[in-house]
Amino acid sequence: MAKRQGSGGMIFAASVLTVVALGTFAYKMAPSFQQGFNQFFGLSSGVTSHNLAITNSANTNPSVDSGSGLSRTKAPNFTLTDQFGARVSLTDFRGKVIIMAFVDSTCTNICPLTTASMLAAVRQLGVAASDVQLLGVNANPINTSVADVRAYSEAHGLMNHWLFLTGSKQQLSKVWQSYHMYSGIVNGQIDHTAGLFVIDQRGRERKLYLTQMSYAGTAAQGQILANEVATLLPKGSANLHKPVQLPPLTPTLPGQLVSVNGKSGGSTVQGQSAQVANKAHLLMFFGTWLTPTATVRASLLALNQYASDAKKHGWPQPMLVDEAATEGSPNALRTYVSTLPTLHYPAVIDVTGEAADAVTAQDLPWIALVNAQGKVLYTHDGFLPLKTLEQQIAKHVRS
């Protein structure tokens, strides 16, 4: 998906940024209620009951896609090369349910959300996931090497959880066309259909999903995928667990921000709950997997100087916000920060993704200036040189 420039101006209901001490890395869920519901109605799994709760609401929630039914025609076969350098054909997986997505090997916006929902789906399926195969098809017409799909797989913790397939541009184009998926270059950026197919054990197309640009929606999208896959598996084999809630229709700050122990300073209280109320903030949304590494590192360290200048000028203090949905490990930020010189500002994890959605983040990195009333004054897609950043902050704080 091509990068999209965001704009400020939305007012959100909450003006408090809550930073919760690092503990359980989890989304909102109510397993005890679900178990009681299943026992009362004599259900052997969470599939039927949770479909009632999530699928009906998904039709009106813009953060997720409830899917479009397909005609059960044979999914077109193809042969490409995976991240290990092995040749792979779609027909190799007859007898398994396939979740197959079209993913840009260098994507920093919607593709990490697609693959996060795929991982969430197999986690929901538990042991039944052994009957499911996750596949990615490279949707990038330029970065088509095995090294490219391997790098994406490693960055997002997918290396041993899926097969990311690539080939020459000509080979990939044939696959895109056979599945009616678009891929091209628009204004210098890769643009493609964020399509995901569910294919049954007989190789028939059953459902098509289009990933929505919502960080908060990945867990719920995974639940929707798991529900669909469970209907294709032998009855009773898929015992879904840990049901999740749909994200709110109107995302608000703070969501759930979790501090990390490490070398971050600023207003983060390490190991304890802290609250930053009625204060403006400069939020830098990012992922530890972003490249080039030297540029990312330099940009984060430059925020130390901004933090110092902000104190002198009365500007909002910065906060580094890691998007959990895109990371391969809940410890990614803690590990990353430990490799940096001391940061003089807080580093937190956006556990639910609601904070990113509240500021309409369309990509990573994403800069958002939020005032004390919770209003987004300014957003920018990507890092900025320190001088340019400070000029923009001064301009929007005055206005």
Give 243-253 pLDDT, tens digit per residue. Answer: 777 888 888 77
| pLDDT score of 183 | 80
315 CB neighbour count, 10 Å cutoff: 19
| pLDDT score of 250 | 81
Q: What is the dihedral of CA 220, 324, 108, 268, to 10 degrees?
A: 140
Give 330-375 pLDDT, tens digit per residue. Answer: 999 999 999 999 999 999 999 999 999 999 999 999 999 998 888 8
pLDDT band at 64 (very low <50, low <70, confident <90, very high): very high
- pLDDT of 389 > 80? The answer is yes
| pLDDT score of 146 | 98
Contact 112, 136 (CB under 8 A): no
pLDDT band at 224 (very low <50, low <70, confident <90, very high): very high
- pLDDT of 6 > 50? The answer is no
- Euclidean distance between the first and the last CA atom of the chain, given in angstroms as a whole number: 33
Contact 98, 131 (CB under 8 A): no
Query: What are the distances in angstroms from CA 269 to CA 100, 276, 316?
Result: 42, 11, 18
- pLDDT of 59 > 70? The answer is no
Q: Which CATH number, 3.40.30.10, 3.30.499.10, 1.20.120.80, 3.40.50.1220, labels domain 31-232? A: 3.40.30.10
Contact 253, 355 (CB under 8 A): yes
| pLDDT score of 283 | 96
Where do runs of H (alpha helix) occur along the chain?
Answer: 31-41, 47-58, 111-125, 146-155, 169-178, 218-232, 293-313, 332-338, 354-358, 386-398
Q: Which residue has the higher pLDDT, 179 or 10?
A: 179
Counted residue by residue, the chain has a size of 399
Beta bridge mates, 186: 189
Q: In what order do the strands lie in the sheet with 205-210?
A: 68-69, 205-210, 195-199, 97-103, 132-138, 163-165
- pLDDT of 16 > 90? The answer is no
| pLDDT score of 272 | 27
Residue ranges of the annotated binding site for Cu cation are 107, 111, 192
Q: How far apart are CA 238 and CA 46, in angstroms?
A: 9
Strands 16-20 and 257-259, bridge-based pairing: parallel
Place of tokens 């690092």: 22
- pLDDT of 32 > 80? The answer is no
Judge if the upstream peptide bond of residue 365 is cis by omega within 30 degrees of 0.
yes
| pLDDT score of 185 | 74
| pLDDT score of 9 | 32
Place of tokens 């195969």: 133
Spans of all domains in the chain: 16-25+250-398, 31-232
Per the structure block, which two tokens stand in for 71?
Answer: 């005609």
Burial status of residue 36 (CB atoms within 10 A of its CB: 0-12, 13-18, 19 or more):
exposed
| pLDDT score of 308 | 97
**Mean pLDDT of all residues in 60-72:** 89
**Mean pLDDT of all residues in 204-226:** 95
Give 127-139 pLDDT, tens digit per residue. Answer: 899 999 999 999 9
Q: How far apart are CA 317 and CA 281, in angstroms?
A: 5
243: left (phi over 0), alpha (psi -120 to 50) or beta: beta
Burial status of residue 160 (CB atoms within 10 A of its CB: 0-12, 13-18, 19 or more):
exposed
Same CATH topology for 16-25+250-398 and 31-232? yes
Q: How far apart are CA 125 and CA 131, in angstroms?
A: 10
Report DSSP letters for 316-352, one per residue. PEEEEEEEGGG-S-TTHHHHHHHTSSPBSS-EEEESS
Q: Is 144 helix (H, G, I), strand (E, B) or coil?
A: coil
Residue ranges of the annotated binding site are 107, 111, 192
Mean pLDDT for the chain?
A: 82
Buried-state track 125-139, b at ≥16 Cβ within 10 A, e below 16: bbebbebbbbbbbbb
| pLDDT score of 240 | 74
| pLDDT score of 57 | 56
Which of 317, 321, 316 is CA-nearest to residue 260? Answer: 321
**Mean pLDDT of all residues in 74-99:** 98
At the topology level, CATH places domain 16-25+250-398 in Glutaredoxin (3.40.30)
| pLDDT score of 263 | 42
HSE, CB side, 13 Å, CA atoms: give it for residue 179. 32
339 Cβ contact partners less than 8 Å away, ≥ 6 residues apart:
none
Strands 317-323 and 347-350, bridge-based pairing: parallel
| pLDDT score of 237 | 74
pLDDT band at 29 (very low <50, low <70, confident <90, very high): very low
Q: How far apart are CA 175 and CA 7, in angstroms?
A: 35
261 CB neighbour count, 10 Å cutoff: 14
> Of the ranges 193-202, 248-257, 262-271, 382-391, which one carries the lowest mean pLDDT score?
262-271
| pLDDT score of 257 | 84
Report DSSP letters for 35-54, one per residue. HHHHHHHT-SSSHHHHHHHH
